[in-house]
Amino acid sequence: MYNSKITGLGYYVPENIVTNDDLSELMDTNDAWIQERTGIKERRWIDKNSDESSATMGAKASKIAIERAGLTKDDIDFIVFATLSPDYFFPGCGVQIQDMLDMPTIGAIDIRNQCSGFIYAISTADQFIKTGMYKNILVIGAEYHSNGLDKTTRGRGVSVIFGDGAGACVLSRTDDNSKGILSSHLHSEGKYADKLIVKSPSIKNWVPDIINTNGEDTSYYPYMDGTFVFKNAIVRFSEVIKEGLEKNNLNTEDIDMLIPHQANLRISQFVQKKFGLSNDQVFNNIMKFGNTTAASIIIALTDAWEQNKIKENDLVVLAAFGSGFTWGSVIIRW
């Protein structure tokens, strides 16, 4: 069996910065409420007149990651793309990356696991490398939320949280079993699917059916039972981090850097306090990018790495919780 390690990281966010004050011009909200409840100061939203999308942002992040890995597009054997906001109903964004980066006709899959999307994606890539099937896999998380949000007071409980952006990494084969991804841990509990959901359009409720309700059917906007999600998130985050540490005979003191999915700063702070971690052991950047769902962990990991907060041999823990419900963790020796 081989091991896999991250050899290149990159992220891309749209230029357009949307502050909390900007949002208060669209809906009844304010900077103090948003910061106190979520920690978010600003987020990036794609300018609607631009041609950016989950796939184009993913392609930009990928180019940076491949270059930093010291590879070219022709060295990549496989693409794994995580998103809940694909450019098309089908096909998925993975194949668009293959085309946009002018890659050979390698395989590409899309992962549909929302906030846990990047954890599921990198874990999937890890399995292909562990078995020896592939040597270098491009793993992407990208989201274009802003065009799908209800930006009125009706949708304020959800729309202030989400931002657009993309991150990517190259996962490569290594013979050194002491380095790289040590383990990954994936979970789901589908009975809570309707607690955080975009229900339509679906094949059961297709576009003409929605139009026929003359605006009364708003099930194409995200719905979130915020309090219920929050309560479940803090429990599952804690459980799955512990599960990963125990699997590797490690303790919370061994964590050099925890990169939690940037769901809400209060969730990260709860987990930090519960495990007694210092500010240096947890990285957050939700303040400037909001919750970018499948992109958030890889954007945060790249941001932390660019700030020299991750060093050789560090124990890096990634953890996520989100719609599904799905949750998971990845334990990495850098």
Instruction: Report the catalytic residues.
Output: 115, 261, 291
CB 243 within 8 A of CB 329: yes
What length is written for the chain?
Answer: 334
Is residue 180 near ligand COA by the rule CB under 6 A? no
34 vs 301 by CB, closer to ligand COA: 34
What interhelical angle do 265-274 and 226-247 show, nearest 10?
40
The correct pick among 3, 4, 29, 123 for binding ligand COA (CB under 6 A) is 29
CB of 149 to ligand COA, least distance (A): 12
| Residue 156 binds to ligand COA (criterion: CB under 6 A) | yes
User: Judged by CB under 6 A, does residue 38 bind ligand COA?
Assistant: yes
To the nearest whole angstrom, how small is the minimum distance from the Cβ of residue 298 to ligand COA? 16
DSSP string for 239-269: HHHHHHHHHTT--GGG-SEEEE--S-HHHHH
Instruction: Give the number of residues in contact with ligand COA, rule: CB under 6 A.
Output: 22
- Binding residue for ligand COA, selected from 22, 31, 35, 37, defined by CB under 6 A: 37
Indicate whether 107 belongs to the interface with ligand COA (CB under 6 A).
no
- Tell me the sheet residues that pair with 316: 257, 332
Q: In what order do the strands lie in the sheet with 315-322?
A: 180-188, 326-333, 315-322, 257-260
Write the binding mask 231 to 250 for ligand COA: x where contact by CB under 6 A, - elsewhere: --x-----------------
Sheet strands (E) in the chain: 3-12, 17-19, 42-44, 78-82, 107-111, 136-143, 165-174, 180-188, 196-197, 223-224, 257-260, 315-322, 326-333
- The answer to whether residue 227 forms part of the interface with ligand COA (CB under 6 A) is yes
Q: Which residues bind ligand COA (CB under 6 A)?
A: 29, 33-34, 37-38, 115, 156-157, 160, 196, 224, 226-227, 229-230, 233, 263-264, 267, 291, 321-322
